[in-house]
Each structure stands twice: as structure tokens, then as C-alpha cells.
A and B are shown apart, each in its own frame.
Chain A
């Protein structure tokens, strides 16, 4: 192609492109509340992101898609479980879509990469899952809230449970990454017995735990405590059951059994002990409504990821209602968020000074609903009003 033709073609295309760009479509400028929701919608853990999206949508439906009379628009973005992608999507929500509030985030490292773009720009970020200890402690920020939990809270609850069950010797297995360390440290913070062994497995690609299971068998502890989120939970439970140790050495866990993994874990999740701040059968009105309607709509039980997202929607709503829709008054909105005057699906909760929840932890178990259906139910309350240990480090 001759250079002159080349230049002509390129010139034509460039001019038309610029013309298109100049002719921006006029945007309707009616008042509405724009919320950006960042979660994982692709890859192996997409099921949790979908659960969160479904639950957030359900909450909006229950609210009539309005908060304080103002229509709500939500933009969902996929972080692909990568920190830079999460940051890029967060930036897009802030800079292009100009959302009023950002929420979501399953993973700590994605949240830590993204939160500054939001909170440093006078906008609120409400985590619907990730609760890294850094943000509960030294890096706490007045514009950051977690509607879920702080990493160490639930394991602390399981530690109390271990004490209640008189476990003396404990073996700990968790994956070797920041959240894994938090989960191990959390249980050690409250467990009063002796830790006879601790193994941190290679994350995320170690799938075979035969070496660790052999060590557990040899150490003969009273119980074993594990943390294996997502598919790793299925793998560990499968292998632990195959090793036939459940009767001898009871299995305690946190975040290892949830509605999604239960579909694959099935019988293997029976006869284990775990604790969490929420279960689908907690007898609070908001929870019953949430779980019943979710089951009707999606033919499935929601997971705690979904419960947290449902709470985020209602938390935001409570603040909008309290400030009568004036989102510009950030201080008033913040105070309304801190007050947390809404019906949480977990029951009574309030925010600590580091904007992380103070709530109860319950012991739960898996049971068979029918031949192929399993669900989670509450056995008892382990402890009430549990605070997280990083709160003192927060200087707010």
C-alpha cells in the first residue's frame, strides 16, 4: 500500500473517530444513588461473586430499588481475583462512572490494592467480605467500613469453642498466605490448650495434603483445626475423610465449609465442627426473609458472602434514610453508617471504632436435608459481642 493511501485512510478514520467522540450522547441527569460493586465474576471462585451479586440484587428488590425514595443504580465489576484488575475496575467506577459508594471485594489483596483510590477521594468503601487485619488496625480509615468481619474474629470464636469442648492438644493446618496466617493466629489467640503442631501448606497450588494428614495421625492430637477457603476446602475434606480420621481426631474448621463447597463436600462435611457469625437458619426476621426469598428465586441457599452483601445494601439504605438522601454531607453520612441502625441478617451488631463489626459467633453443623441436599444449621452461640484484636491499633 502506498504511503499516501495509508495516510489518507488513517486520516479519514481518525477524523470520523473524533467526530464520533465529539458527538457524545446526552446523559439523563436525574438524581439517583450510584453504587459500584467489585467482586469476582470469572475464574474458579466466580460462584461466590455470583452469590454476592444475587444477594445484593435481592436486597435492592426488597427495598423496591430505592433508598430513601431515591432510585438506586448498581454497577458490578469483575476483579478476576487479581489486585491490579480490581484496582483498575475501582478506578473506573470512581473516575468514569462517578459512583457515590463502592462496595464488595472478596479478597484481601484486591481490597488493599483498591481501597486508597476510594477512601482518599472522599468516598465510602464498604467491604462485603475481605477483612484484612491491616485495615482493622494501623491502616484503618474513616471512610472504610467492613460489613463482614475482621479476619481474626471467626477463628477466635472457634478457639473459644475448642475450650468449651475441652480440647487439650490441637493441630493446626492452614495455607501459607496472609489470610491463612490470620486464621491460625486467631485461633491461637483464644485457645487455651497446647498446639502440638502447625503446618502451613503451599498456596494456592498445593492440592495434595497427604503429608500433612500423615503428620496429624502421627501427632495424635485431640482435635485438628483447619482453614481452607473455596475449592481447597473440598480437597482437604475429601482427603481427610478418605484417611478415615474424623472419628479419632475431630475436625474443627473456619471458612472451610460454606454453601458453595457443600455441594461438592456432601457427606464429607458431616460430623465436623465449625463456627461463623451467620447461618442460614438464624431466627432473625431479616434473615428469614433473606434466606426464604433467595431460595425461592435461585433454588439455592445463600452463603455468608451473600448474607454480608445483603447487609451492605441495608446498611447503605439506613444511612441514606437517616441523612434524608443528602450524600454530599459526608460527615453526617459517616455518622449514620457508624450507627448501623438496620436489621442485620446476623442479628444484633454494632460497629467498633475501627468500623469493623462486633457480633456473636455461633457453632454450626452440616445436616442432610434429603438424599442429595445438604444445609447448615446453628447449634449454639459460642460467644457474644466478640471484638477483633486489631481494634486497639486503630487510631481513629
Chain B
């Protein structure tokens, strides 16, 4: 289903998206006030994953290229940092450009090889090429192989930012997320972006109009790969570790889930998706070891009933449900944080959420329309 850029102008999604961004930006403050440094750790990961999801959304949501090997760039960016650090090169001014250029070149190569195929073939080819990168990482025993590579010292910006300070690192990631979103916004609303989206809905038409579709797609592919390499750099910095497991196709699957869950082809969709996915994982796994038995059907239900993901729900007039969902998630996180093992407060929040959903549904039926 073609996603028109006009959706970006939808007031509700922009409002909620911006609100979420601002709330995320306030996390360090909350962490200090509540004396909970772990909150900062957790949300750093959310922000980094959001950058990766936004990069994937560029080619998947807007460009229609379902890359099942996107997590490979996280690995490439991360390993560039790790390998350089292993050899004693800790200056970020060297590490970051190497990592970004490495990701760009890999994306160029993978894109050249795979963009001639379409549909399921493209999916499988990107998966195969990413698995090759994964097995290369596994086989590189000099750099740990599948044990992974520990990064003993964080990159230094020469006094500009201290990456060992958790707050500084978080703000760096947050600023980069904002910049990535802004970059995506500009790309999508430019002529380049229009061609890309036009090619997603009908590439033959675009070609007839004289556009070199392949070149446009390859460019988008390289941009997305580079941005994901950035997420890789941040991942390696934040965990002080990089391993091939982070490049496995199942991680690419996680990224796809985040993008689709949040709403493909929308600016804030991947942010919603990454946030929801990681929050659910964090909260549910603290309740029970069997949390996937709940998480799985949740995904299924979202696909069946919430077409276009969370963002799509908001645009389609089901904003009430989507918002209830997001706010419930937020409330659940607070409950999980305060009353870690006690299920009663969680049950109360869920009950309130259920009531809210029923109330919204009833109100919709009475007004008889799609104005949610």
C-alpha cells in the first residue's frame, strides 16, 4: 500500500512523535532525580535501536526494499571501532569515519549485487549476503570469532565529549537520533524521495518517466547502510563489545518487526516501533520466563488488526487505541520499575487500559464514524 508523504503532515503523529522524542530527551533528568542509572542504560539502547530502525525504514518503508540483512551494518560499524581499538587506535576522529565509510562501501557492494532482484528474491539475497558477513565475523578468530571482541577503551573525541560519561553518551545518541530523523524527513520530501516512493508503488512507471530507478535505489540503500553503521558505532561504544551474533539474520528480523510494528513509511513510525518492541521485551521478560508466549500473539494481533502499525492506527483515525497503547506501555514501565515483582499494580494498569479501549470503542460506535 503506497505511503504518501502527506502523512507526515498528520498532526497527531507529529505531535506524539515529537512528544516521545522530548520525553526521551528528558530521561537523563529522570534518571538523576529517581537515582536510577539503569534507566539511562536501557533508554540508550532504545535510542540506538531507533536510529537503526529509522535507517531501515528509509529503504523498507519508503523504498519498498525489504532488506533482511540490515543488521550486518551494525556489525560492520561496530567491528570497525572494535578492530581499530584492538590495534590501539582509539581516536574517534579516525574510528568513526572508517566505520561509516566501511558501512557505506559494504552497502554499495551488497546493493549492487542484490538490487537487480525483487520481492522474495531480494529478501533472500540480502539475507544470504548478510549471513556471509556473519560467518566471516565468526571465522575471524584474531578478533574473537563468535566470542566477540571486547573494546577495552572507549573512543576519545579528544576532550570534546567524554564517552565514558553515561549522560554524555546518551545525549550524543539522542542528538544523532534527532539528526537522523531530520535527515530522513528532508530526503523523503525531496525530489529524490518522491522518486523513491514512486518506484516503490510502481517502478516500471518511474522508469518510463525517465528516472534511473536502480541508481536512486542504490543511493538510498547506501545512505541507509551508512546510518545503520552509525547505530553500529554507537552499539559498540555503549556495550564496549561487538560480536557476530549482533549481525545474525534474526536481528535483522527484529529490526523489520520494529519498523512494521511502528508503521512503515512514516517518519516517527520506527521510533514508535523500537520503543514499543524494547519496552515490551523489558517489561514482559521481567514477569515470566515464558514471555514470548504473550509477545508472539501481540505481534500477530497488531498485524491482523492494526494495519499500518502504530502510526497507521493514528492516521487512520484509531488514534485513541494507539495512544492508549503507548501510554499504557509508559505506565507499565513505571509500574515495572517501582513494583518489580508485584503483579497487582500491573494488573490495575492493564484493567484501566482495557476500560479505556472499551470506552473509546463505544464512543466510536455512537458517533458512527472513523473519528477516533
Contact = CB atoms under 8 A, between A and B. Distances in A.
Interface stretch (A1-9, A245-253, A270-278): A1-9
Interface residues of B, number: 45
Given A84-B239, A88-B41, A178-B141, A112 B334 contact: no
B325 interface: no
Interface in A171-202: 176-179, 181
Contact of A113 (B36, B243, B323): B243
B243 A91 contact: no
Interface stretch (A13-21, A60-68, A256-264, A337-345): A13-21
Given A17-B334, A21-B338, A132-B147, A96 B36 contact: yes
Given A3-B12, A88-B45, A113 B239 contact: yes
B306 interface: no
A134 B150 contact: yes
B150 A112 contact: yes
A78 interface: yes
Nearest to A42: B289
Given A3-B11, A109-B146, A116-B240, A9 B323 contact: yes
Given A1-B372, A21-B334, A95-B38, A6 B327 contact: no
A91 B38 contact: yes
A101 to B, nearest CB: 18
B334 A20 contact: yes
Contacts of A82: 245
A109 B372 contact: no
Interface string B22-51: 000000001000101110011001000000
Nearest to B149: A112
Contact of A83 (B36, B241, B292): B241
Interface in B41-80: 41-42, 45
A20 B166 CA distance: 26
**Chief secondary structure at chain A's binding surface:** helix
Interface string B126-166: 00000000000011010011111010100000000000000
Given A134-B150, A177-B145, A83 B331 contact: no
A139 interface: yes
A208 B285 CA distance: 33
A17 B330 contact: yes
Given A25-B339, A80-B285, A84-B45, 13 more contacts: A1-B372, A6-B323, A17-B331, A20-B335, A21-B338, A24-B34, A42-B290, A96-B37, A109-B148, A134-B147, A139-B150, A176-B138, A177-B145
26 contacts: A1-B371, A3-B12, A6-B12, A10-B327, A20-B334, A20-B335, A20-B338, A21-B30, A83-B245, A84-B239, A91-B41, A95-B36, A95-B38, A96-B37, A108-B147, A109-B148, A112-B150, A112-B241, A112-B243, A113-B148, A113-B150, A113-B239, A113-B243, A134-B150, A178-B145, A179-B147
**What are the 3 closest A-B residue pairs judged by CB atoms, nearest first?**
A178-B147, A95-B38, A96-B38
Interface of B: 11-12, 15, 19, 30, 34, 36-38, 41-42, 45, 138-139, 141, 144-148, 150, 152, 239-241, 243, 245-246, 285, 289-290, 292, 319-320, 323, 327, 330-331, 334-335, 337-339, 371-372
Interface of A: 1, 3, 6, 9-10, 13, 17, 20-21, 24-25, 41-42, 46, 78, 80, 82-84, 87-88, 91-92, 95-96, 108-109, 112-113, 116-117, 132, 134, 139, 176-179, 181, 203
